[in-house]
């Protein structure tokens, strides 16, 4: 547990993307409260948030392993890092899609009928 928390703290210290994910996470939770997300909405949103953070942690772990195994420039090292970065991108696109799929109907209801 201590090591796991240490890993998350290191992610914040060393990866600029962690700060972007943190900002987006706070913005999404704030929007969800404003738009009165339901339990099912929060289920999807929390899955998307956890997915992005998990993929970023795995991506950062893989970057360190590649740097250990191949500190010099190598086309295979590039491929491995680019695959891992692609996984984060796929997860981030899915998370954005989930947010809009959940937020738009809630926003529509609020705009047409007032508070849910
Ligand atoms: N050893 C290497 N050999 C060849 N290309 C590399 C190597 N290390 C990194 N690269 C290339 O540089 C890119 C950035 O690598 P770096 O280790 O700096 O990750 P990063 O900038 O922290 O990426 P991310 O934004 O995904 O966290 C990689 O995606 C890869 O294309």
Distance from the CA of 78 to the center of ligand 1, in angstroms? 6
Q: Rounded mean pLDDT of 32-36?
A: 94
114 confidence band (pLDDT: 50, 70, 90) = confident
* Cβ(110)–Cβ(116) below 8 Å: yes
* Cβ(28)–Cβ(44) below 8 Å: no
Domains observed in the chain: 2-113 (1.10.287.3610)
Q: Rounded mean pLDDT of 25-42?
A: 96
The whole-number pLDDT of residue 116 equals 55
Report, in angstroms and rounded to the nearest whole number, the Rg of the chain calculated over CA atoms: 18
Active site (annotated) includes residue 14: no
CA 86 to CA 112: how far, in whole Å? 39
Site residues for ligand 1, CB cut-off 6 Å = 15, 17, 59, 63, 70, 73-74, 77-78, 81-82, 85
What does the mean pLDDT of the chain come to? 95
The whole-number pLDDT of residue 11 equals 96
* Cβ(7)–Cβ(56) below 8 Å: no
ipTM of predicted complex: 0.88
113 confidence band (pLDDT: 50, 70, 90) = confident
Q: Rounded mean pLDDT of 8-17?
A: 95
């Amino acid at each position: 547990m201590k090591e796991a928390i240490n890993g998350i703290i290191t992610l914040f210290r060393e990866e600029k993307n962690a700060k972007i994910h943190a900002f987006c996470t706070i913005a999404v939770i704030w929007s969800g409260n404003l738009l009165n997300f339901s339990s099912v909405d929060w289920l999807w949103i929390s899955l998307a948030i956890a997915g992005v953070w998990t993929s970023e942690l795995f991506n950062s772990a893989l970057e360190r392993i590649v740097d250990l195994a191949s500190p010099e420039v190598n086309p295979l090292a590039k491929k491995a890092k680019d695959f891992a970065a692609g996984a984060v991108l796929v997860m981030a696109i899915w998370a954005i899609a989930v947010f809009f799929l959940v937020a738009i109907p809630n926003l529509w209801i609020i705009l047409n009928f007032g508070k849910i």
